[in-house]
Each structure stands twice: as structure tokens, then as C-alpha cells.
Structure 1
């Protein structure tokens, strides 16, 4: 027999807290499922209905996740209760999901004082609606650069999740768990939140002080402190690249030593590695923003559009203009 779970005693709420999940087209299934599971488990462990949830969308009847799994919505977009907590679930092609109808609905409900959050890339939609102006927020690291370029009014961080007043945001993936555990702890105590984490075999609960990306040594598979310092400096200075000689001097090495270090561990020169970082950011901006190709070039440290195009073609085997055109064609299918 499977033993019964120990009930975690919490004060009975006057009424369950209702979360309204707004599923955008091609939303990330993991971010949504992780959030809902936290609520379900909290109910089970407490032996009470602490939380309920409601699914809506601006699609008619069904909405499809990025994994192709379809969900039937409970009801179309409509007026909510003032005590509801709205969590918008984003994923791929979030720009396309920021429809006029969606933005107007979010603004209307926000004016009524509802708490709102964005999971994964949905922070973009909240920012597009003007609901993150003057607020701290986060978004999936892949969309970070594009978000920075478009929304100057938002204090964008690289945190796993952010709660700033009545606005919340997560970086995607399992960060939904961290946000929901934080909300459960605030309302019903750390004991219940920890028990929910334990049920999910989630042993490393993160706070809003944790950053979302793996450390440089983990990402590149090399544990060399000076190499990590140089790469961190490169990633922080894309728009105005730093010369290899200055990078070497800042970590107490000669330029030749730095060259040997990169060749040994990464099989490329510092200059080549730096160029790849800049081109990767450029590609993200081309795919995720409406910035002109010239402005993308400038944002990635290229003074000349022709030089940018030449480097882009050499690395990606296409031009920036064709890349954007092909991406636009894919979105319209």
C-alpha cells in the first residue's frame, strides 16, 4: 500500500485564491505545467482547496503549446474577479501573440487592480501593454537583448523570477516553480512551500536573487578562472567591444598568453570567439525585434553595415536581410 501523505496544517482561507492562466499561442508547456502542479500539490498536502485555476486565451476554443499539445480553454477573455491573479504564459513568437485584443484586455484588467505576471517570454506582452513601466522584471535569457532594446522603461534583470509590487515575471522553464513556491510561502508558510518542493523532487529552491543562466565555466565546459573572467567581460561589452590586449591586461596576462588560452580550451582565437558572441546577439535582435539592420549592427559593435553583413554571411551563410525575411516568412505560415 502507498502510505498517505502527512497533512500540512495551514489556516483555512476565506475563499480559495484563483489563478487565471492566459495561454498565448505557442506557449511553453513546461512553464505552465510547473505553475499548475505547485497549486495542485499545495491543495493535496493541505487537505484543503487553497487554490483554483482558470484557463483563458484570445483563441477560440483551443490554444496550442509550442510542443503541439492542445488545451481547451475554460472561457474566452472576459472580466475577472478583483482578487484573481493573472499569469500570462508565453513561449515562441511572442511578438505575434501580442495582439491588440490581448493588450487591451490586459490594460483593462490591470486598471481594475489585478495582480499580473508573465511566465517565460510573456513579460514582453506585459511590457508591450505598458504594465511593467518603472518595474523590475525578468524574461528568458534568449529574449533578454531584444527586450532591453525595446523597453527602456523597464528595469530588466537576469533573475530567475521577480516580484515587484503587483507585477511578477519569470525567466521560463522551472522558474515557474520558484515563483509559485514563493507565493505559497508568503500566503501559507514556508513549511507548505517546502513540502510542495519536496513532492516535485525539487531540491534547490531558488530566490529572486538567483540568476537564470548557468555559470560561464559550466556553459563552456571549462573551469579556468581567467578564461571565465575574459568571457564575462566580452558578454558585458557587446556594443563597444574591448580589444584582446586590454582584456588580457585586465586579467594579468599577455596577449599571447590569452591567445594560447583560447586556442587550448575553445579551439579559436579571442577575436573569433568575441565575434561569434556579437553575431549571436545580432541574430537574436534580427529575429525578435523590428530594429533596422543598421541599428542591429551598431548594437552589436559594428561601425559599418557592410562589414556587419560580410561577417554575418561568413558565419551564418546568409545575409542579415535574408535572415530576417526568411524568419518573417516562417512566422506568417
Structure 2
């Protein structure tokens, strides 16, 4: 008698096209770039997390969830240990007609949505249509999210596999607390200022200065949520020469002040 095949995590998610699938764990399944036939809702408790797609890197702060449309290639990268990662997979046909569901985005998790996600914490694996209460609950959760979530987090960092550009991006990430000028960086890596600027525009569709700015803001978001550093300390550590400049730049991108972002999103651990 043949032994039953042990399905991989991804095979389990895709096995039954009409089921919803729930997976809560303290350890994320370490998947490479992949996609699946269901929408994915992910909420992470504690820790720094990035969602990577083929084109962009998204920072997922505390008290935010990510919506990943069915068919979108992605993987989740954990920067630190986490308390819990909560994944809910929803087949597209059971949801209402809403353009929200076709677009990837990171959104604040208001109390209603957070409580609805946490209500599923004892559920696991496939939920079939015959399990009417649970199945309808997941459908309702998806539709509530589609109706309530209007303003995605605007901070998105483009990524690249360009071999000439990758070490330059690594240099930027490693030296955010230092002055990062186009001219000096170009010389360091054997480019002219014009050629390096053109490389950023062509490969990342963003300027050198904008890339540095976005990287600094994302780094500051990590520090706001994971450290006890003051706003001034975070400003200087993120490469700003004054807390006021940092606060204004943060507000222009995130639409809230650093102190308010920390207050609204800080995970409180015991």
C-alpha cells in the first residue's frame, strides 16, 4: 500500500480551490518567491517584516495588515523574531465585486478588523463550505476589509536584481546615518553622477535622492516601533541633521508625525 503523500504548505493552500485556509504560527513558512490561487491576508504581531514582490519591498509595521491578491508572486522576509504571524487565505469567487481585492496593499488594522482576525486564532487549515459559520465568517472578514480599507501605507521601496546597482543599494542601507550624496556615491562605485542617476531612473523608476529618503523613513519606522530611542535620536540615526527635518519628511510620506505613528502602532509586550 502506497504511503499518503505529505503535502507542502503551498500545496495545502492550493489543494481545494473553494476552501478558505487559516494558518497561525510563531514561525512563518520559509517560502521562496511564490503565488497561490487565493487572496492572502497577513497580520504579524511583533518583529520587523518585509513583503517582497518582484518589483518592490514593503515594510509591514505593527498594527497593519497586508492584502496580497491571488496570483501575485511574493515572499515574506522576517527581519527579527516575531510573536505570531496570522495568515488567512480566501478564494476570490466568494468575495463581493470590489477593486480593492485585485491590488496589493498594506493598511492600518482598526480594532474591528484586528478583533475579527484574532477571533480565528484557534482555527487551522482548510475550512469547507459545509462549515457554514466559519466559512461565512471568513467571507465577511474579507468583505469588511475591502469596504473599510481606503488608504494604503504609501512607503514602498523598489527592488532590483541589477548586479551593478545591488551593491550600491547595500551601501545605502549600511550607511543611512552618514551623508549620502549622489556625487560621492557615484565616485565610490566608479560611475559619473549622470550615469548613476540614469541607472536609478531606468532600473528603479526613482531618483537616487528619493531612494535614500524612502530607505531612511523605513528605517526610522522600524526604530519607532522596536526601540525606546527618542524621536531626536531616531532622526540622527536615520541620517537627518535635525529632528524637525525628519518629522516634516516623515509626515510628507506617511501622513502622520513620527510621535503619532509610534503611539498608534506600537506593539505593547508583556
TM-score interval, normalised by the smaller of the two chains: 0.3 to 0.5
Q: TM-score when scaled to structure 1?
A: 0.37
Q: TM-score when scaled to structure 2?
A: 0.45
Q: Which has the higher strand share?
A: 2
Over alpha carbons, which structure has the higher Rg?
1
Q: Which has the higher helix share?
A: 1
